[in-house]
Chains A and B, each alone.
Chain A
Amino acid sequence: MIKKWLTWTIVLCLVFGLGLKGWTAGKTTISWWVPNWDEPVVRELVAEFEEKNPDIAVKIVITTWDTMANKILLALMSGNTPDLITELESRIKLYAARGLLTNLDPYYAKDLNQDDFISSALELNSYNGSIYGMPFRHDGSGMLYNKDMFRKAGLDPDEFPKTWQEYLEVANKLTIDTDQDGRIDQYGLAWPLGNQANAATRYIQLLYSFGGDILSEDGSRCLLDSEQAIKAMQQLRDTIVKSKVAPRSSMELDNTTLRGLFINQKIAMYVGGQFDIAPIQKEAPDIDLGTAVIPGPGGMGTTTVNGFSLILPQEAKHPEEAWRLIKFVAEPENMARLTDTFPGRKSALELAKFNQELLKPFARQLEKGKSEPSFNDWPEMEKVLYYYLQKVILDEMDVEQAMKSVTVEINKILKN
């Protein structure tokens, strides 16, 4: 009896096995590496894509934030790659420079309008004038401010300062000793200088706004002793040490505790992200929250930007099929579903999901965005920059001298 059952089971397995094989025959299987936070939406999108493209099957492989950089670099270098990868925008230039990615220029020319993509996103995805990725998620920083504090100080809450100079003046008016005990209780602004990464990002945004850069274009020389770099550091220092519109406890804050000060109504304005909006509205619903673009020396300043793109490895086995999937994800509605922040396309930005008053300035700011540093040795360089930044804010070192030391040490790292 048992033997009979066993035989039937084997026969059934064989039949189904063969049947399945026949069913997938004529189908091309492409694989897509997807970070785990995108997985649920990606599964939905892939199901829809497979329905519309019966000749393609998509295999999803999940990556994680901690391991993706290594894993992707290793796969690209070894040539044993998937057909499609979701990767951080700021790493694309590195791969493109080594010839590891497919040049997407001909594909874009055929199927996608480059003008519809946000310019800072295109810039991050380009190398030597050619495009190597399809940015579906892209974001940067912006200003958050307390409108009631503006009203109380006699300022127009809907007119956020446009230039850096106006910003400092407004900050001055918002730095107040509210209970007249001789101590300041409310500051105009604050910085997250107690955390290396957060502090470096804010300084670099100022640096970009003042027209400076970290390294020379070919990446061989540090430019942090330039006039612009010194000016940016001087401005940052002065808000705390000289004009004192920012509290000295800026030295103790990171992005989260900085938001805590805003929620507790100790500061009127700060540079943050769109991800700050929800926690502020939840924890302090009575704050009349406003958002704006970052003020720079001559109008809108520059933010650091980053996000995620789809890339097509040079060694991909099925580039045509993979491109069809990229094209599918690039449709504005699909892109809007996949991104947790903003999409890379202007037409997707028009959709209702992003059409909220508080989000608009963050979207507008993206037009003036520049990549976060993505050099190989950046973690080591960031440490150097942070060390001297602290020395400057502590007033233990002259700005010019500090920036010279930063440059010497970073140049040393570059030589190694």
Chain B
Amino acid sequence: MQFNLNLNKGESRGYAFVAPGVMVIALLIIYPILAVIYLSFVRSGFNVTEFVGLNNFINVFQSHQFAQIIKNTFIWTSGTVVLAFLLGTGAALLLNQDFVKLPGLWRAVLMLSWIIPGVVKATVWKWLYSYDFGMLNHLLERIGMISQPVGWLSNTNLVMGTVILVQIWATFPFAMLMISAGLQSIPKELSEVAELDGAAGLTKFYYIFMPLLKDVAFITILILIIWSLNEFALIWIITQGGPAGSSQILSLSIYDKFRSFNINGAAATAVLQLSISLVFAVCYVYQAKKEV
């Protein structure tokens, strides 16, 4: 990209109009980021602030929960993204079939889980998952799938899967929407021609749909990754990162540190989180630009 500063009259007027908005946004976004980076390299005491280099980061790495947090973050991100994407793509392909009546209605119904506000989603699932009083255990027992209630939220081995399930339910409609849009941009003739040539089922999918959906799929996955990495409210409301830290991910540990007034530790964790997200964000911007 190159800046061409020889603007004509219309262009310079345009820039003048957007300048105040751009400045406000820069102030609201860039200043806080710089402030967090600054906080991650200092130790703020009462009335004094001293530079401590990488000490805050070292403390974060050395904390005995760090390995578990990274492991959880990895499981959470990969689990939610892969499954939400597969489920979303499956739903989109299904809705694209001719034998599905009223695809618009079905799409709207499936979108519901994405549209419900996050706090409501989380609160509803928290009660559904309740050990003694939850609908889920009650239902599974009724149909005889389990004989003992399952500790969805209190079993340290299960709880990560439990919250992943909710996130998949909450984000797959987005993948469905994106892939649906991609599918609709593929001309019907193309697939008809392929059928004439004898391509059917998987072959058609492999040679026609896959290459044409590649770009939109890539963008969808990137957005899902960034969302998952940054998700906070859902896990916080359902488990608060517990029990005993077994569903703690990076974004929750920022708040957890902040809550016990460890502001510099929280800032260091936030910078870490930012750098991880940044990798995917850069990929996203790069890909988005390529598309144009």
Residues in A lying within 8 Å of B, measured CB to CB:
73-74, 77, 183-184, 187, 194-196, 247-249, 251-252, 261, 266, 379-380, 382-383, 387, 390-391, 393-394, 396
Contact = CB atoms under 8 A, between A and B. Distances in A.
Nearest to A70: B46
B44 interface: no
Contact of A249 (B132, B239, B242, B262): B132
Contacts of A194: 239-240, 242
A396 B156 contact: yes
Contacts of B129: 252
B156 A394 contact: yes
A390 B244 contact: yes
A248 B153 CA distance: 10
B118 interface: no
Interface string B203-245: 0000000000000000000000000000000000001101111
A195 B132 contact: no
Contact of A248 (B132, B141, B242, B245): B132
A266 B133 contact: yes
Contacts of A266: 132-133
The 3 A-B residue pairs with the shortest CB-CB distance, nearest first, are: A379-B260, A390-B244, A247-B132
6 contacts: A74-B47, A249-B132, A252-B130, A379-B260, A382-B260, A396-B244
A74 B245 CA distance: 35
Contact of B131 (A74, A248, A261, A396): A248
B261 interface: yes
B79 interface: no
B245 A387 contact: yes
Interface string B117-145: 00000000010011111100000010000
Contacts of A247: 131-133
Given A390-B243, A394-B243, A394-B244, A249 B260 contact: no
Contacts of A184: 132
B103 interface: no
Contact of A187 (B46, B47, B132, B239): B132
Interface in B179-223: none
Contacts of A383: 256, 260
B47, B154, B245, B256: residue with the most chain A Cβ atoms closer than 10 Å: B154
B259 interface: yes
Nearest to B260: A379
A391 B262 CA distance: 24
A394 B153 CA distance: 11
A242 B242 CA distance: 22
Contacts of B47: 74, 77
Contacts of B126: 252
B161 interface: no
A217 to B, nearest CB: 24
Interface residues on B, range: 20 to 34
Interface in B253-275: 256, 259-262
A77 B48 CA distance: 14
B151 interface: yes
Nearest to A246: B132
A380 B262 contact: yes
A142 to B, nearest CB: 25
Given A379-B260, A380-B260, A396-B156, A251 B243 contact: yes
Contacts of A187: 132
Nearest to A251: B154
B243 A379 contact: no
Given A261-B133, A380-B260, A387-B245, A249 B240 contact: no
A67 to B, nearest CB: 14
Contacts of B130: 249, 252
B130 to A, nearest CB: 5
A73 B245 CA distance: 33
Given A252-B153, A390-B242, 5 more contacts: A249-B131, A251-B242, A380-B260, A390-B244, A396-B156
A184 B137 CA distance: 13
A248 B132 CA distance: 7
Contacts of A251: 131, 153-154, 242-243
A380 to B, nearest CB: 5
B84 to A, nearest CB: 25
B139 to A, nearest CB: 13
A371 B156 CA distance: 34
A77 B239 CA distance: 40
Contacts of B46: 73
Nearest to B243: A390
A236 B156 CA distance: 20
Interface in B72-110: none
